[in-house]
A and B are shown apart, each in its own frame.
Chain A
Amino acid sequence: MVDDDDDCERMTPSRRAVLGAAGALFAWSFVPTFAYAAAGARDPRFLLVVLRGALDGLSAVPPIGDPDYAALRDDIALTRDGTDAALPLDGFFYLHPAMPNLARLYASGQAAIVHAAATGYRERSHFDGQDVLESGQAGPGHTASGWLNRLLASLPAGEGISRKGVLGVGVVPPLVVRGDAPILGWAPPRMDRAGTDLIQRLEDLYGQRDPGLARALAQAKMTEEIAQRRGMGSEIKGGGGPDSTDGMKRIAEGAAALVGADDGPRIAALAFEGWDTHANEGGAKGRLAQLLGGLDGALAAFEQGLKPVWKDTVVMVVTEFGRTARVNGTVGTDHGTGTVAFLVGGAVKGGRMIVDWPGLKPEQLYEKRDLKPTTDIRAVAKGVVSDLFGLSGPVLAEKVFPGSGGIGPMAGLVG
C-alpha cells in the first residue's frame, strides 16, 4: 500500500498528508467511522469526463503566442483581441472564449491545463483511441475492464471507497468503469420509474435464475437509493443528449449530486459527445464553440453541486486524441494526435499550464501533420490518483495502467 523508499524521497508535503489518508483507508474496517474525518485526512472525489470524438486542443486552448499558429488555423484561428477574443491564460496560451468558467477557475488557482498530451496510442481510430484511453492499457484490443474500475479494485476492501463502487453515467456505461469492482449506473431520467414491488420480485427471480442480471439490478438499486436521499426526483424528463449544452449540464448536475452524497460513490466517469469536427468546426463561434460552452457549463455545475467537498475534488477532462494542426479542405480538422487535458477542482494545484511545447513548424509536428505529444496522459492520471487515493507506483504500473512502468506519476498536481 505505501510507496517504497525511492518514491518517498520525492514526496511533496501534500503527498505526505495524503498518505495519512491512505493509512486511514486501510484501517477502515477496524475502526469506527470517525476516522473518516481525522485531521489531515481527505475524503477525495474524482470525476473523469471523456470527450468522445477527439477534441481539437489547438482550438480549445490556442497557442496564440506561437508564430505558426495563425497560418495553420487560417479561417478558424482565434485571436487575442477583438470582439470574440480568446481568454488570456499565460500570455502564450489562451482559452477559447466559450469557456469563461474555466478561465475563472484557472485564474483562482483551481484549474490546470495540460497541453500537447496524448495516451500511448499513435493511430487515428476513434474507437481504438477511446478503448486505449479508457482501458488504461498500452494499446488497443483490451476491453475487458477499464482503469477506473481496476483503480477501485486496487484500493483496500472494507467500508471504504471501494465498497461505494464507481459511478458510470449513462444507460451504456463507459468502458473506463467496467470490470469486476461494483459499478453504479445513473442516467438523466426519461421514463416513469417502475414500482418497488416489481423491482423486489425481479430481484428474487434473478437471484434464482440469473446472477448477471441480479448483480446489475442490485447495483442499480444502490444508486437509486442514494439519488432518492439526495432528492433527485424524476420530475424533469427528456431534454438534450450528451452532445447538447442542456444535456451536458444535466448529466454534470446528476453526477455531482451522487458523488457529493456522504454515502455516494467517490469516483465517477461520464462522457460528452460530438467533438469530431471534420467540417465547419467554427472559430470563436460555431459548432465547436457550442460544445465547449456546454463543457464549460458542466464544469460550473460540478463546482456548484460539489460545493461542500469541492476542496477535495479533482475533475479530469480527457479525449482520445487531438486533431490535425492544419485546417482541412472543409474548414474542419481531421484525426490527429496531441491535444489538451483539463484538471479542475478545489484540490488541483491550478493556475498553470503544464506543457513542454513542441512547436508548430512542419518538422515539429508529429508525422508533419499533428501536434506532437510531449506529455503522456497516463502520467497525469497517475499523478492525480496517486495523490488523491495514495496508490503506490507499482500498483499503478501493474494494475491500473499495465505496462506503464516507464511513465512515472506526475508530481504535485494535487495541493
Chain B
Amino acid sequence: MASPSDARSDSVGLQRFGLGSALGARAELRVSARDRLLAEIDRRVLPQPAGVPFSGAAEIGSALYAFEDREKIEREARRAAETKVAAAPPVPGPSVPATSQNQMAQPNPANAKPANAKPVNEPALPYRTYRDEVLARTRLALEAETGLGERMVQFWSNHFCIGATKSNMTRIMAGAYEREAIRPHVFGRFEDMLVAAESHPAMLDFLDNRLSIGPSSPAGKRRGRGLNENLAREILELHTLGVSGGYAQVDVTNLARIITGWTVVGREAVLGFPGSFAFNAGLHEPGAPAMLGRHYGQPGKAQGLAAFSDLANHPATADFIALKLVRHFVADDPPAALVRDLSAEFRRTQGDLAAVSRALITSNSAWKAEPTKIRSPQEFLIAAFRALGRKPDFGQIAGPLNAMGQPFWQPSGPNGYPDTNDAWASPEGIKTRIDVAAGWGRQAAGTVPDPRALTEDILGPLLSAETRQAVARADSKPQALALLLMSPEFQRR
C-alpha cells in the first residue's frame, strides 16, 4: 500500500512528466506512476499521428509546388484582367510582403475570385495541411496514457524548432517535420535526431541553408552568390553546444561552408523528389574547413555528417541538453547535481535519449521536487482537454493557444518558446489563461455531471482544502470548472 506522501509524489510526477490524467483513468494511473512512465520509455517507439493529408516531405513538396504554380497562374490572370479593365498602369500602393515571408497562405477575400474558386472558409493548401497536422498531433496527446512521450516530442520539437510563419514550405511541412525528424528519435539517439532535423527540408528552408552556396563551388563561381550562415550559427548555439559552448565566429562560418549543398529539391526534380532533401555537390564549397580545431576533409555530404557526429558527442552538448531538460521538467533554477547526472548519462551512452530520460524519471530529486513550474499554454490546453474529456477541434485549439502565446510550431525565433515562469506566469499571461478557462468551463458545463467529483478525481492527493471549497462554492458549473482549471494545483507541476 502506498503511503500518502507517495501518492502525492506520484500525482506530481504524472503532471510533471506527463500530460495529466485522461478522463476516467485517474485512480489506476496513479498506482505505480513511475513504472508506467518508465515502461513508456522502454517501448522506445511512439505512435505516429493518423489521418494526416501527406505521408512525408517528399509527397508534400510536389503538392506545394503545384499549389504555388497554380497560385501564380491565377495571380497573373487576375493582373492581366485588371490591366485590361483599368487600361492604365497600376497605381503604386502600399508594398506587399514577399509571399514567402511571414504570412499565412490564406486566400485573400479582397481579390477577385478565379474561376475555380475554393469553397468559402476553406483555407489554402499550406494552412489546411497545418490544420490537419495540428489535429492529428493533438489527438495523440489526448489518447496517450501518461503522455511522457508526447511531452518529449514537445520538448524536442521546441529544441529543434522551425517556424510555420516563415514560408509556405515551413507551414505545410511543420507537422511532417515533427513526424519525420523528431518523433522517431525522442527515445533514440541524439545524433540521429540532429541529422534528421538539420537535413529536413523544413529546417533547410526555415534557416535559409537551401539558399547558401559555397563561394568557390561551381554554382558560386557561376552566379557570384555565397554563404548564408544562419543555420550553421543556430546549430552551434541552439541545437548542440549552446551559446557558451566554446565556439567562435570562424567555427560558424566554417560549419556554414561544411553544410553548403544541404538543400531542398526544386520543382524540376533534378536530384530527387521535389521538396525532398538532397545533397547538391554543385553548391558545396571545396576544401577541408576547420571547426573547433578539427579539419573536415570528407567528400560531399559525409563532411557534414562527420561534423554533426562530433557536435553530438561534444561534452558541451551533453551539458546543454541536460540543463534544458531539467529546466523544462523540474525547475526554472535547475538543481546542479541533477544536471550533472543527466549530462554524465548523455556522455556515457553517446546521447541515448532513452537512457537520459530514464535517469531523469528515476532521480529522486526530480521526482520529489515541489511543483513550482507553471504548465506551458500547450500543456495547459492538453491537460484541460484530457480532464474535461473534450474532442479536438481546430478553432478551439488554435484560438486559445494564439491568445496565450504558444500556437503549435510558430515561435517567433529559432530559439523556440520560452520555458520559465517569468514568461508564462506573467500578469497578462495569467489573465488570458483565466479568459480561456472561463470559455472552456462554459463549453464543457453540459457534459460534466459534477465539477466537485471531477475536481477530486483530477487532482486527487494534490487537492487543497481551499481549492475544494472554491469549487464547491462556485455560483455555476462553468465557474466551478474554470476554478478547477485555474487552481494552483492544476496550473503548477
Q: Residues of A with Cβ closer than 8 Å to B?
A: 52-53, 83, 98, 123-128, 140-141, 168, 170-173, 178, 183-187, 190-195, 197-199, 201-202, 204-206, 208-210, 212-213, 216-217, 219-221, 223-224, 241-244, 273-274, 276, 278-280, 282, 285-287, 289-290, 293, 328-330, 332, 334-335, 367
Contacts and interface: CB of A to CB of B under 8 A. Distances in A.
A323 to B, nearest CB: 12
A185 B434 contact: no
A289 B432 CA distance: 33
B350 interface: no
B466 A205 contact: yes
B470 A201 contact: yes
Given A190-B403, A220-B430, A334 B95 contact: no
Contacts of A172: 405, 418, 423-424, 426, 429
B360 interface: no
A290 B403 CA distance: 24
Contact of A329 (B228, B403, B439): B228
B435 interface: yes
A52 B412 contact: yes
Nearest to A271: B412
B272 interface: no
Interface residues of B, number: 72
A220 B95 contact: no
Contacts of B423: 172-173
Contacts of B474: 201
Contact of B95 (A186, A223, A293): A293
A285 B230 CA distance: 23
B212 interface: yes
A171 B404 contact: yes
A329 B227 contact: yes
A199 B415 CA distance: 34
A202 B211 contact: no
B413 A126 contact: yes
Interface stretch (B35-43, B98-106, B144-152): B98-106
Contacts of A242: 412
B97 to A, nearest CB: 5
B271 to A, nearest CB: 19
A282 B208 CA distance: 16
Interface string B201-232: 00000001001110100001000011111100
Interface string B462-493: 00101100100011000100110011100110
Contacts of A171: 403-405, 426, 428-429, 432
Contacts of B103: 244
12 contacts: A52-B413, A172-B426, A173-B428, A187-B432, A192-B439, A193-B435, A194-B437, A202-B434, A212-B425, A224-B431, A276-B413, A287-B97
Nearest to A172: B423
Contacts of A127: 237-238, 243, 413, 415
Contacts of B399: 190-191
B404 to A, nearest CB: 6
A191 B435 contact: yes
Nearest to B410: A241
B402 interface: yes
Interface string B74-106: 000000000000000000101111101111000
Given A186-B428, A273-B413, A280-B100, 16 more contacts: A52-B413, A124-B252, A168-B426, A168-B428, A191-B400, A192-B439, A194-B435, A210-B492, A212-B425, A213-B430, A216-B429, A219-B427, A241-B165, A242-B412, A329-B220, A332-B228
B280 interface: no
A213 B488 contact: yes
Contacts of A276: 413
Nearest to B228: A330
Nearest to B441: A198
B422 interface: yes
Contact of B215 (A205, A286, A329): A329
B227 A185 contact: no
Contact of A197 (B428, B431, B475): B475
Contacts of A194: 434-435, 437-438, 482
Nearest to A282: B98
A282 B211 CA distance: 16
Contact of A330 (B225, B252, B425, B487): B225
Nearest to A83: B92
Contacts of B171: none
Given A198-B482, A328-B228, A329-B215, A185 B426 contact: yes
A188 B307 CA distance: 45
Given A140-B243, A190-B399, A330-B225, A216 B426 contact: yes
B436 interface: yes
